[in-house]
Amino acid sequence: MLRYWLIALCAVGVATDAAEPPPWSVFLAGVAEEAVVEGVSRDVVDAAFDGLEPDPRVLGFDRKQPEFVQTTAQYLAARVTKGRIESARKHYAAERATLEAVGERYGVDAPFIVAFWGVESSFGRYQGKYSIIRSVATLAHDRRRSAFFRSELLQALRILDEGHVPPEQFVGGWAGAMGQNQFMPSSFRRYAQDFDGDGRKDIWQNRGDVWASIAFYLAEHGWRQGKPWGYVSNHPDGFDFTSVARQDEVTHCRAERSLSAAASAAEWRRLGFELPEGAPVLRLVKPEAGVTETYFAAANFETILRYNCANKYAISVGLLADAVEP
């Protein structure tokens, strides 16, 4: 196999438009040299890039604009299904000892570990079949988000170099999310855990590692064990969300812009919302037009948003976790 630095040398002097990606071989050469400088084995890089070509399917997915935006009700109907709830309960009952051990180690409620697992990959059944290296390299070569995906590609090469997964099993979604908890390579490098101490962080096949990785991620982002994610409530007639819209600056996640200012449960009840006694300070998720149900976010809701910045996603995780223990 040709060394990438030789390919790069051959390309010296070739003028390219800054808005256009460089030739594929030149791009791979640059990434390869950067990876080796950062300590990745040359043999690992050569094997990963040997015969590698861009995946046109990935670019197609990346450019496809959604034609239909789901309402919250439609989103939940597709994700918090009767079948998924039943599966969550069965897995929790069968694996409760290990799940609770994971939860105690990291300070995260076990039903939420199950809920994330269920929402992310349907309990490991749907992890994606795209080559992580090929997919992320394709997106890194494209100019739309090249810096982000180039960094992810370097992290992916480090994962291979560290021996956490065989190259043939290094697969996931088309955009690089991988394993039963759908971590991006950078998240894997920061948060993946070796729960059973076998020397590998195997989020593809080792459930203990999967659950521990989810729990550690949540713990690192401020999970409060034993505290609620939020509440489902009614929608009072004539309620105007603009009267409670938040005024502070959102720093973590764009979805937080759709959360109201924080107020006590007593204040929300005075506005006509039905909430239990003892509920903590809450933010209202901006209701959609014509709804009869509303959702309130407690502190753990904002931690869920750090996993996936979408209010519908956070609500689905919370509802599934609530259903794990009927």
Max CA-CA distance within the chain?
73
The 10s digit of each residue's pLDDT in 293-320 is 999 999 999 999 999 999 999 999 999 9
HSE-CB for 100 with a 13 A CA cutoff: 6
Amino acid identity of residue 198, one-letter, is: D
Place of tokens 């197609």: 60
Rounded to 5 degrees, what angle do the CA atoms 119, 163, 173 make? 30
Domains and CATH numbers, the chain: 4-62+127-219 (1.10.8.350), 72-125 (no CATH), 230-297 (no CATH)
Residue 250, pLDDT score: 75
Cα 92 to Cα 95: distance, rounded to the nearest angstrom:
5
The 10s digit of each residue's pLDDT in 115-141 is 999 999 999 999 999 999 999 999 999
Cα 195 to Cα 285: distance, rounded to the nearest angstrom:
35
CB contact set of 17 (below 8 Å; sequence gap of 6+): none
Residue 19, pLDDT score: 67
Residue 249, pLDDT score: 78
CA 262 to centroid of chain Cα atoms: 26
pLDDT surpasses 50 at 7? no
- As a whole number, the mean pLDDT across the chain is 92
69 — pLDDT class (breaks 50, 70, 90) = confident
Counting every residue written for the chain, the total comes to 326
| Residues 282 and 233 sit within 8 Å (Cβ to Cβ) | no
| Residues 318 and 296 sit within 8 Å (Cβ to Cβ) | no
| Residues 74 and 183 sit within 8 Å (Cβ to Cβ) | no
Amino acid identity of residue 239, one-letter, is: F
pLDDT surpasses 60 at 12? no
Cα 297 to Cα 231: distance, rounded to the nearest angstrom:
7
Q: Could you tell me the pTM of the whole model?
A: 0.91
| Residues 84 and 321 sit within 8 Å (Cβ to Cβ) | no
Residue 18, pLDDT score: 43
More confident residue, 325 or 87: 87
DSSP at 50: T
